């Protein structure tokens, strides 16, 4: 039985974690190619924090409720949604509405839960795997034998990037803020973990690559890291910007960009259309899902909290002490 109403988290106004409230809302109805998912777990991500702070609004037409990745079971279909029968265990990338008991998702942005994974693990996959695949492998064009530098290696994005890059034959350098985080990154396969509080990542990266520099940099820091990334990059290096925790303004030496023939690009995923995300979903299903099925790759889970402790989940995210993903248990 599908109820008419559900519990979900709303943002009552821009601010700190205490602006998150659980309230009652109508259960959404699936459109033509959408499915309705009874959510068992939902991932917590930095974009959720940015939305709560009032600096990352949902795209037009998306649910105003927070939450970008979910895992659960299919309970209803739109007229032309034919891929996943009722009862199928699925995970989905959504543009909003994930912190809830039910959500709709376009079936083209939905993927089956691997047989060996539970809902908690599955809810930690979509946002980070879609983001890493698009930015590291598609935009950054990371190749086998090249070196990837990931800033924030112990984050959900970072722990995913480490595993995917190593699986596809690349070398991985990460930056992290504590010895514990550096060790966790090495345990996941990173070849070099740099404590940015005590080491210069430019010098360490260039020493590791014997002066060549790194081929691809995945940066979510921005600020003064931007110019330092140019120094750390190899000739023909690619820098992909996905966030700017130190600010979106930077002073850079553009001569270095020209002389090294660097590419500095960036992206956000949430506002991209269904068809674009469907292309990423298809690529992941074809190329990454076998490694999830075998257990060779698995999301790193830091903490699991019930939905009623969503404020605590955001507080934990903002402290940046987590290693891997924070997940909300809905059922």
In the predicted model, is pLDDT for residue 331 greater than 90? no
Residues 37 and 87: beta-carbon distance below 8 Å: no
Q: What is the pLDDT of residue 29?
A: 97
Percent of the chain with pLDDT over 90: 98
User: Are residues 108 and 151 both part of a single domain?
Assistant: no
49: pLDDT strictly greater than 90:
yes
Alpha helices in 153-288 (DSSP H): 156-167, 179-188, 201-208, 225-232, 254-259, 274-287
Spell out where 1-100 has E strands. Answer: 5-11, 20-26, 34-44, 69-77, 89-93
Query: Cα–Cα distance between 25 and 267 in angstroms, integer?
Result: 32
What is the mean pLDDT of the segment spanning 91-108? 98
148 and 79 in a single domain? The answer is no
Which of 211, 231, 266 is where one domain is finished?
266
- The full DSSP string for 218-253 is EES--TTHHHHHHHHEEEEEEEEE---TT-S-----
Query: Using 50, 70 and 90 to split pLDDT, how confident is the model at 262?
Result: very high
User: For residue 91, is pLDDT > 90?
Assistant: yes
DSSP class of residue 217 equals E
pLDDT at residue 128, rounded to an integer: 97
Report whether pLDDT(58) > 90.
yes
Mean pLDDT of 255-261: 96
Closest to 204 (Cα-Cα) out of 165, 171, 237, 175: 175
| Structure confidence by residue, pLDDT tens digits, 185-217 | 999 999 999 999 999 999 999 999 999 999 999
Q: Tell me if 266 sits within 8 A of 226, measured CB to CB.
A: no
pLDDT of residue 305: 98
Same domain membership, residue 136 and residue 261: yes
Query: Are 227 and 285 in the same domain?
Result: no
**What is the rounded CA–CA span in Å between residue 121 and residue 205?**
32
Structure-token pair, residue 299: 């999301």
Clarify whether residues 136 and 252 are in a common domain: yes
The yes-or-no verdict on residue 247 having pLDDT over 90 is no
Distance CA 182, CA 174 (A): 8
| Same domain for 121 and 30 | yes
The domain containing residue 164 runs over which residues?
129-266
Same domain for 145 and 83, yes or no, is no
Q: Is 88 exposed, middle or buried (0-12, 13-18, 19+ CB in 10 A)?
A: middle
* pLDDT higher than 90, residue 1: no
pLDDT score recorded for residue 227: 96
pTM: 0.96
**CA 145 → CA 56, 136, 171, 203, distances in Å?**
36, 14, 7, 21
Give the CATH number of the domain where residue 100 resides.
3.90.180.10
The pLDDT value given to residue 104 = 98
Q: What is the pLDDT of residue 280?
A: 98
Tens of pLDDT, residues 110-154: 999 999 999 999 999 999 999 999 999 999 999 999 999 999 999
Specify whether 134 is located in the same domain as 112.
no
Closest CA to 42 of 312, 331, 279: 331
Q: How far apart are CA 224 and CA 157, in angstroms?
A: 21
- Total domains present in the chain: 2
Q: What is the pLDDT of residue 246?
A: 86
294 and 171 in one domain? no
Contact indicator for 122, 92 with CB cutoff of 8 Å: no
Q: Give the model's pLDDT for residue 245.
A: 86
pLDDT for the residue numbered 190: 98
Is the pLDDT confidence value at 74 over 90?
yes
**Considering the chain, what is the average pLDDT of its residues?**
97
- On the 0-12 / 13-18 / 19+ scale of CB atoms within 10 A, 99 is buried
Residue 130, classed as helix, strand or coil, is helix
Q: Of 296 and 248, which is predicted with more confidence?
A: 296
């Amino acid at each position: 039985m599908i109820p008419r109403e559900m519990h979900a988290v709303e943002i009552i106004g821009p601010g700190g974690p205490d602006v998150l409230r659980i309230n009652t809302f109508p259960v959404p109805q699936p459109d033509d190619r959408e499915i309705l998912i009874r959510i068992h777990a939902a991932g917590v991500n930095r974009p959720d924090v940015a939305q709560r702070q009032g600096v990352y609004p949902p795209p037009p037409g998306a649910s105003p409720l927070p939450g970008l990745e979910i895992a659960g079971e299919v309970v209803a279909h739109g007229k032309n949604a034919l891929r996943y029968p009722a009862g199928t265990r699925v995970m989905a990338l959504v543009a909003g509405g994930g912190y809830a008991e039910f959500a709709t998702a376009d079936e083209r942005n939905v993927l089956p839960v691997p047989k060996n994974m539970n809902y908690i693990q599955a809810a930690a996959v979509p946002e980070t795997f879609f983001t890493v695949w698009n930015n590291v492998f598609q935009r950054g064009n990371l190749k086998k034998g090249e070196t990837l530098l990931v800033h924030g290696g112990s984050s959900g994005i970072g722990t995913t990037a480490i595993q995917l890059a190593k699986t596809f034959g690349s070398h991985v350098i990460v930056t992290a803020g504590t010895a514990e985080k550096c060790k966790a990154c090495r345990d996941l396969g990173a070849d070099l973990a740099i404590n940015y509080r005590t080491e210069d990542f430019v010098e360490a990266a260039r020493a590791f690559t014997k002066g060549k520099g790194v081929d691809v940099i995945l940066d979510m820091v921005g600020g003064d890291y931007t110019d330092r990334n140019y120094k750390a990059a190899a000739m023909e290096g690619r820098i992909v910007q996905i966030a700017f925790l130190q600010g979106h303004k930077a002073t850079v030496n553009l001569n270095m960009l020209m002389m090294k023939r660097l590419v500095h690009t960036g992206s956000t995923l949430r506002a991209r259309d269904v068809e674009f995300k469907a292309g990423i979903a298809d690529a992941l299903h074809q190329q990454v899902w076998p490694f999830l099925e075998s257990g060779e790759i698995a999301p790193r889970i830091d903490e699991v909290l019930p939905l009623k402790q969503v404020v605590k989940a955001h507080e934990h995210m903002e402290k940046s002490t987590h290693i891997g993903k924070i997940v909300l248990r809905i059922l």
